């Protein structure tokens, strides 16, 4: 038995060296492309952060509170959002909060732009979904730190690799839930649309998507929360935001800073979750 084990271990499959050669090939031949992508996302995200930080914090707080009330029609939620954001401002973490909001919104938006069309395509092509399923499982089960390495090699440090890693982590949720929503549309609805002579495009836009919308919006909520859960991981590869003070606190054993940043992340997560519930049609 030991000889068999030794034989297996002595003939190790060179997965690591092959992977290294593959990424060396990419960085050697396509470095201009990857640098351009990183520069574009960095310019876009940092530009949005700069625009938002141009406004006084209290103006943005008031705008977010007004948006919360408009969405939820609840003065209690609006008051909670106001108190939560004022707490963040009080702790001196407003700049990091804006950076986190921009990163989360960009990652969630990109994930939805990728996930919804892929989910619709997979719902109409079962073979495609069977092919996508192991890829989605891999994206959701692989430890985040594993694909930090290739992303860092290709895109370097900064907000761009943070965005890409977050999209990889969050995109499976809208794909799966869009597929679930489309495939769960009652068959009589589709048959009624076909009976009235609706084309495939009309069936999609006027029957399937309206029926699947609550499930798709649940995918958006999950996507946002998954993106927010990546802020600390993104900070490890140079993305700014509320994850940065957490990482600094961890490195220096700064307990007060860690508690402040951790509470700010929790407050922001609660605010986003409560505001996004309106999109699902769920009233608190």
Number of other residues whose CB lies within 10 A of the CB of residue 106: 20
* Sequence-ordered list of residues with C-beta below 8 angstroms from that of 106, at least 6 positions apart, any chain: 41, 44, 45, 48, 163
pLDDT at 201: 84
pLDDT at 211: 87
pLDDT at 1: 67
The model's pTM: 0.84
The string of DSSP letters for the chain reads -HHHHHHHHHT---HHHHHHHHHHHHHHHSHHHHHHHHHHHHHHHHHHHHHHHHS-HHHHHHHHHHHHHHHH--HHHHHHHHHHHHHHHHTT-HHHHHHHHHHHHHHHHHHHHHHHHHHHHHHH-HHHHHHHHHHHHHHHHS-HHHHHHHHHHHH-SSHHHHHHHHHHHHTHHHHHHHHHHHHTS-HHHHHHHHHTT--HHHHIIIIIHHHHHHHHHHHHHHHHHHHHTTHHHHHTTT--STHHHHHHHHHHT-HHHHHHHHHHHHHHHHHHHHHHGGGGT---
pLDDT at 75: 85
pLDDT, one tens digit for every residue, the chain (284 residues): 677 766 777 677 777 788 778 878 888 887 888 888 888 888 888 889 899 999 899 999 999 999 988 888 888 888 989 999 999 999 888 899 999 999 888 988 999 999 999 999 999 888 988 888 888 888 878 777 777 778 888 887 888 888 888 888 888 999 999 999 999 888 888 888 878 877 888 888 888 888 888 888 888 888 888 888 887 788 888 778 888 888 888 888 888 888 888 888 888 888 888 887 744 433 33
């Amino acid at each position: 038995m030991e000889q068999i084990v030794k034989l297996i271990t002595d003939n190790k499959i060179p997965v690591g060296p092959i992977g290294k050669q593959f990424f060396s090939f990419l960085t050697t031949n396509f470095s201009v492309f990857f640098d351009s992508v990183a520069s574009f996302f960095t310019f876009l995200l940092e530009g949005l952060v700069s625009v938002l930080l141009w406004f006084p914090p209290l103006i943005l707080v008031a705008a977010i509170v007004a948006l919360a009330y408009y969405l939820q029609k609840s003065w209690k939620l609006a008051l909670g959002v106001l108190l939560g954001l004022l707490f963040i401002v009080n702790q001196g973490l407003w700049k990091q909060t804006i950076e986190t909001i921009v990163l989360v919104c960009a990652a969630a938006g990109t994930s939805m732009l990728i996930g919804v069309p892929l989910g619709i395509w997979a719902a109409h092509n079962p073979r495609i979904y069977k092919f996508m399923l192991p890829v989605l499982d891999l994206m959701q089960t692989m430890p985040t730190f594993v694909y930090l390495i290739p992303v860092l090699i290709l895109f370097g440090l900064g907000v761009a690799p943070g965005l890409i890693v977050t999209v990889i982590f969050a995109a499976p949720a809208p794909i799966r839930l869009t597929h679930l929503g489309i495939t769960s549309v009652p068959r009589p609805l589709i048959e009624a649309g076909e009976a009235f002579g609706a084309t495939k495009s009309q069936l999609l836009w006027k029957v399937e998507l309206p029926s699947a919308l609550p499930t798709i919006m649940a995918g958006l909520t999950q996507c946002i929360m998954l993106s927010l859960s990546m802020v600390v991981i993104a900070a490890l590869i140079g993305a700014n935001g509320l994850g940065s003070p957490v990482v600094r606190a961890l490195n220096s054993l700064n307990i007060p800073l860690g508690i402040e940043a951790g509470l700010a992340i929790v407050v922001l997560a609660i605010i986003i979750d409560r505001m996004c519930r309106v999109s699902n049609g769920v009233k608190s």
